[in-house]
Homo-oligomer: A and B are copies of this chain.
Amino acid sequence: MTDQAQRPTIHEVSRAAGVSISSVSRALNGQTRNPDIIRRVHEAVQSTGYVPSTIAQSLRSQRVGQIALAVEDIGNPAYLAMVRAIQPALRAAGLRLVLHSTDGIVGEEIDVVQNLGNGYVDGLIICPIRPDASLIEAISRSPVPIVVIGSVPGGIAVDNVRGQSTEGAALATAHLIDRGSRRIALINGPGDTVPGQARPKGYERVLRANECYDDNLVEQADAFTFEAGYEATKRLLVRGGEFDGLLGITDRLALGALHALRNAGRSVPGDVRLVGMDNSEVATTAVPTLTSVDLGAVERGRLAAELMISRLENREQSPRALAVAPAVVERESSR
């Protein structure tokens, strides 16, 4: 908080060291052999308290050293896990992370993508949740590299890391059947979202294959929150169809379901076996601990960062699509 004594520039250093600014620049970037100059420059840097301006460097190099990350809601445990994986990977590569939490508003997302043009970041990692046409459009004509986490609805060519959530939901459903449940309910998320469309498919497929699908057991939450999961489950209970298993398409929704069941006097897993998805921290800390499908959030985050880093080094390579396999992590709620 000491005040703006106008930060010293390379000129001050050059004056203090008695050499030209180019020599200072070279000395600082290791382009000089002359030990005398190197010493004098470093002394001058010390005495002046000089720090190179990243802005000026960026203007010249046309690189900012920053990557934007756009997620719907940083509070969503699944995204949180990704952020925690992405940040260290970027830092290791000398990149900063600019965080955008868009509240799932498509307009905000498009905003982020369109502002990419002004060059405040070298790239964008985005987890789009609603397959909006103009978003896809904006992504496809972005001036900077983009890595998409999740499936790319438009089928456009872009680096991406998929999570195979349809398969994940299928695994979860099969797991419940395995444990003995036959009447399995689903708490879905908003129908206009990617997971809200993909995950029920896996659920339905497995149940139909086992001839126990009943669409009366499907209820939709209007957001990916605990409260929405709670309310949806209450509606399901009111409707009165019996069930002995329940799949929440995210851990948060499943937790909401857990509370609703508990309030209705249904025990978990005694009366109802419960499974969530994302395998986030809340699955471990819930009581009972929550069986959940690991969709590889951490792995996907890490891979996304790596795709981005490698893309920055070579912009010509063709887009790569990676996929991470899901796996059920069994805990108390489904035993």
A residues contacting B by CB (< 8 A) are 1-4, 7, 49, 51-56, 58-59, 64-66, 74-75, 80, 83-84, 87-88, 96-101, 115, 117-120, 139-143, 145-146, 156-158, 226, 252, 255-256, 258-259, 262, 281-282, 284-288, 315, 319
Contacts and interface: CB of A to CB of B under 8 A. Distances in A.
Nearest to A121: B96
A7 B117 CA distance: 8
A54 B118 contact: yes
B258 A287 contact: yes
A59 B284 CA distance: 48
Contact of A284 (B156, B158, B226, B284): B226
Contacts of A52: 118
Stoichiometry (number of copies): 2
A84 B80 contact: no
Contacts of A84: 74-75, 101
A143 B80 contact: no
A273 to B, nearest CB: 16
**Most B CB within 10 A of own CB, among A1, A142, A256:** A1
B4 A143 contact: yes
At the interface, is chain A mostly helix, strand, loop or mixed?
A: mixed
Given A53-B119, A64-B55, A2 B141 contact: yes
A89 to B, nearest CB: 12
Given A1-B145, A74-B84, A258-B287, 17 more contacts: A1-B157, A2-B141, A2-B142, A2-B143, A4-B143, A7-B117, A51-B115, A53-B59, A54-B120, A55-B119, A55-B120, A75-B281, A80-B80, A97-B99, A226-B281, A252-B285, A287-B288
Contacts of A262: 287
Contacts of A315: 3-4
Query: What are the 5 tightest A-B residue pairs by CB atom distance, in nearest-first order?
Result: A51-B117, A287-B287, A54-B118, A54-B120, A99-B99
Nearest to A225: B281
